[in-house]
Amino acid sequence: MGTLIRFTKMHGLGNDFVILDNISQGIKVDSSLIRKIADRHFGIGCDQVLMVEPPNSPELDFNYRIFNADGKEVSQCGNGARCFGRYVYEKGLTDKKHIQIGTYSGTMEIDVSDLTHIRVDMGIPQFSPKAVPLNHKYFHKLANTGRYRINLLGNEREVTILSIGNPHCIISVPATSEAAVNEVGKALQEHPAFPKGVNVSFIQVLARNHVKCRVYERGVGETLACGSAACACVIAGILQEELNSEVKVDMPGGSLTVSWRPEMPVYLSGPAKSVFQGEFYLSINEEIF
């Protein structure tokens, strides 16, 4: 005997998600269950599991919960937010085109007026060590916003560190194809400077309105795309006066558009697609079969 659970598999540029409707289903999740769902060999397989829940305040339409493949709950996911918005609209859970959702890091607005190019208000980036969070004793702070110097793997590196609802460290490189994404990403992920881990991005500026980016995502590893990382890369480039206010971001899984002006919210636009729907039984001992 077990509990039947319905799910939808979606992706944003190959950054893939299992979405669970916890409004019509009473699902109790823990890290063990999330890891089993996310397992690409013995489960469904995904980078993150997303939960649709009832709003926890009257001004919101839904609550949005995000779990990385390692089972840990996190506060932000831009690609996931676009999939979340398309999911609740197409499933008839709302008829609104501008959807207000609550996350652990605050409120987000998702614009589903154009389902081929969904737009998300990702909020205002934060740079204080407390907001990231960052133990800045391991870094030498530079004069401009969010810039630090760190000794990593025997090399001095200049990086930009910020929060866009989750922690990001951005490194400029001559070519993303030659970046040591896994080596450097893993080293920073495990660095004591980041008590809650960090998403590490490698950015190559192609033009003032066009960049390439690869991302080592905390709890996942290198991923085909990461929406909040795309935002972080553009913010870092604008602060360095290398980029315009609207930028195309190429990632291994495809392209996103990021718009930002200092002191304002950052906007992320791109596709969100359904892959398939299914169901699984969850046994009493939480085995998926």
pLDDT (tens digit per residue) in 252-276: 999 999 999 999 999 999 999 999 9
Distance (Å, rounded) from C-alpha 146 to C-alpha 128?
8
Question: Does residue 140 carry a pLDDT above 60?
Answer: yes
What does DSSP assign to residue 178?
A: G
User: What's the CATH code, domain 136-264?
Assistant: 3.10.310.10
Per-residue pLDDT tens over the stretch 25-79: 988 889 999 999 999 999 999 999 999 999 999 999 999 999 999 999 998 899 9
Active site residue 233: no
Domain residue limits, the chain:
3-122+272-282, 136-264
On the question of a cis peptide bond just before residue 174, with omega within 30 degrees of 0, the verdict is: no
User: From the candidates 77, 213, 231, 233, which is the catalytic residue?
Assistant: 77
Pick the CATH number of 3-122+272-282 from 3.30.70.3040, 3.30.465.10, 3.10.310.10, 3.30.70.1280: 3.10.310.10
Distance (Å, rounded) from C-alpha 170 to C-alpha 181?
11
Distance (Å, rounded) from C-alpha 91 to C-alpha 58?
21
Find the mean pLDDT for residues 84-104: 96
Phi, psi dihedral angles at 8 (to 5 degrees): -130, 135
Find the mean pLDDT for residues 146-158: 87
Residue positions forming the annotated binding site:
15, 48, 68, 78-79, 166, 199, 217-218, 227-228
Distance (Å, rounded) from C-alpha 279 to C-alpha 72?
23
Active site residue 169: no
User: From the candidates 46, 83, 169, 226, which is the catalytic residue?
Assistant: 226
The answer to whether the beta carbons of residues 282 and 20 sit under 8 Å apart is: no
Residue positions forming the annotated binding site for substrate:
15, 48, 68, 78-79, 166, 199, 217-218, 227-228
Tell me the pLDDT of the chain averaged across its residues: 93
- Report the predicted TM-score, pTM, of the whole model to 2 decimal places: 0.91
Question: Does residue 286 carry a pLDDT above 60?
Answer: no
3-state secondary structure of 274: strand
Per-residue pLDDT tens over the stretch 195-240: 999 999 999 999 999 999 999 999 899 999 999 999 999 999 999 9
Q: Helical H runs in 143-265? A: 181-189, 227-239
Nearest in space to 79 (alpha carbons), one of 125, 9, 15, 21: 15
Confidence of residue 284 (pLDDT cuts 50, 70, 90): low
Per-residue pLDDT tens over the stretch 117-136: 999 999 999 999 999 999 98
